[in-house]
Amino acid sequence: MNFQHTEEQELLIDTARRFVEEELYPHEQEVEATAQVTEDLRRQVIQKSLEIGLYAANMPEELGGGGLDPLTMCMLDRELGRANYALQYTVARPSNILQACVGEQRDKYLFPCIRGEKTDCLAMTEPGAGSDVRSMSCKAEKDRGDFIINGTKHFISHADVSDFVILFAATGVDNSPRGPRKRITAFLVDSGTPGYTIRPGYESVSHRGYHNCILEFDNCRVPDNQVLGEVDTGFEVANDWLGNTRLQVASICLGRCDRAFELACEYAASRTQFNQTIGKFQGVSFKLADMELKRRAAELITYQAGSRANNNQMSDMDAALAKLASTEALAFIADEAVQIYGGMGLMSDLPLERIWRDARVERIWEGTSEVQRLIISRSILRPLENQ
């Protein structure tokens, strides 16, 4: 498989790198110190990324987006991933799942998101339903032409700056041979809808300035034209559109691997102890070799998944392998980079301690590393069990 950049990809990578260095890096310290991206800064970043065509790059051109294919999106996300998460997310993209919008939903949700006028968030997880998300208790009950929603979601990223939530709620139960199985429906619910409250979430070690929230639904009435996709097919809609989210996580992690690795190499080649640069000690240089091995392996696995996604051939296992490889490579590389810097590695004067803290969440969200291993091992074993 050839992952040589095309001319267009080179141009995009250069543009994104310049954007990250000129528009995002200068604000990193402030965001880390205040744990906030001010509304002014958020608007400014969105505006600049719209001007140079980086915003909504994942959305098809005919809908007004950048029309990048999945592999090229991996390359863009990798560049954006070098920056503080709260800042890079601001440029990131509307959720792919919004392409399931139909009729008036497109004017109300999809197009404003592509134009940078509205922001979505997505809510599945609950205090009692994490990896086993189908066990969710949040429910939506039919009441004439509406649904009445009751329940609580937690860990919902950036709901505090979102105009609406793509909410997953149970709309019934089927009896399956393995016991009761909930039917799930996706809804579009506007912030400010009576009965829908957004509360601040928990303080997190990762991603300062990027907040998780608790969403409470108390007899929240939503008309049935706010259903995304068909009733009872929420997970099918999610499966159709959200596979690339794991690729996005993998690619962002590659960008962080790059930045941590580059910093570690510079330091190993310049820091002197015992009258020689520390990179001359095998204890340090072999760390660099192992870091590069993991970085390249993660890059190849992620780009291979991206390339298969370009041909509509990316399997669940491909996406799981990419997420697992990149998030675990980042954990290793960030930790070893801190080690190479010694005490300075832990000081907030450098971006390394942040990359190290931020790396932790990547093995948890979008499906934990254990869940990725479950997907991969099932994909390996299932065909053999059916023989």
> Rounded to the nearest whole angstrom, what is the least distance from the CB of residue 331 to ligand FAD in the complex?
14
- Beta carbon nearer to ligand FAD, 131 or 225: 131
Q: Which residues pair with 217 in a beta bridge?
A: 151, 196
Contact pattern from residue 96 through residue 125 relative to ligand FAD, giving x for each residue in contact according to CB under 6 A and a dash for the rest: -------------------------xxxxx
What is the total count of residues that contact ligand FAD (CB under 6 A)? 21
Question: Cα Rg for the chain, rounded, in angstroms?
Answer: 22
Q: Which of 130, 150, 190, 297 binds ligand FAD (CB under 6 A)?
A: 130
Bridge pairing between strands 164-176 and 179-190: antiparallel
Q: Which residue, 109 or 341, has its beta carbon nearer to ligand FAD?
A: 109
By Cβ distance, which residue is nearest to ligand FAD?
130
Q: Which of 93, 84, 81, 1 is nearest to 254 (CA)?
A: 81
Q: Parallel, antiparallel, or unpaired for β 212-223 and 196-200?
A: antiparallel
Q: Least distance (Å) from ligand FAD to the CB of residue 13?
A: 28
**Catalytic status, residue 366:** yes
Q: Does 374 bind ligand FAD (CB under 6 A)?
A: yes
Stretch that binds ligand FAD, among 138-146, 294-302, 321-329, 363-371 (CB under 6 A): 363-371
Residue 164 binds ligand FAD, judged by CB under 6 A: no
Tokens of 276: 């020689």
Residue 160 Cβ vs ligand FAD, minimum distance, rounded to whole Å: 11
Q: Does position 137 bind ligand FAD by CB under 6 A?
A: no
- The two most distant CA atoms of the chain are separated, in Å, by 80
* Residue range at the interface with ligand FAD (CB under 6 A); choices 149-157, 269-277, 283-291, 339-347: 149-157
Tokens, residue 184? 């799930």
Minimum distance, C-beta of residue 67 to ligand FAD, in the bound complex (Å):
26
Note whether 305 binds ligand FAD by CB under 6 A.
Answer: no
Residues 9-38 that bind ligand FAD (CB under 6 A): none
Q: Is 361 in the site for ligand FAD (CB under 6 A)?
A: yes
> Does 155 contact ligand FAD by CB under 6 A?
yes
The closest alpha carbon to 359, from 327, 324, 384, belongs to 327
Are 149 and 222 in contact, with CB atoms under 8 Å apart? yes
Alpha-helical (H) ranges within the chain are 7-19, 25-34, 39-51, 70-80, 85-91, 104-105, 111-114, 234-270, 282-310, 316-341, 352-362, 369-385
Using the rule CB under 6 A, is 251 a contact of ligand FAD? no
Catalytic residue among 299, 328, 336, 366: 366
* Residue in 35, 368, 376, 379 binding ligand FAD, rule: CB under 6 A: 368
Residue 281 one-letter amino acid: F
Residue 223 has a CB neighbour count (10 Å cut-off) of 11
CB of 356 to ligand FAD, least distance (A): 16
Q: Rank residues 221 and 378 by Cβ distance to ligand FAD and give the closer one.
A: 378
CB of residue 220 vs ligand FAD: minimum separation in angstroms? 17
- For ligand FAD, which is the closer residue by CB, 156 or 309? 156
- Answer whether 64's CB lies under 8 Å from 113's CB: no
Distance, in Å, from the CA atom of 42 to the CA atom of 48, rounded to the nearest integer, reads 10
**How far apart are CB 131 and ligand FAD at their closest, in Å?**
3
Binding to ligand FAD by residue 212, rule CB under 6 A? yes
204 binds ligand FAD (CB under 6 A): yes
The number of angstroms, rounded, from the C-alpha of 304 to the middle of its chain's C-alpha atoms is: 19
3-state secondary structure of 156: strand
Whole-number Cα distances in Å, 323 to 5, 94, 251? 22, 20, 8
Q: Which two tokens stand for residue 243?
A: 């596979």
The string of DSSP letters for 174-236 reads EEETTEEEEEEEEEEEETT-TTEEEEE----SS-TT--EEEEEEEEEEEEGGGEESSTT-HHH
Which residue of 34, 47, 131, 313 would you call a contact of ligand FAD, by CB under 6 A?
A: 131
Nearer to ligand FAD, 16 or 325 (CB): 325
Active site residues: 366
Residues that bind ligand FAD (CB under 6 A): 121-125, 130-131, 155-157, 204, 212, 361, 364-368, 370-371, 374
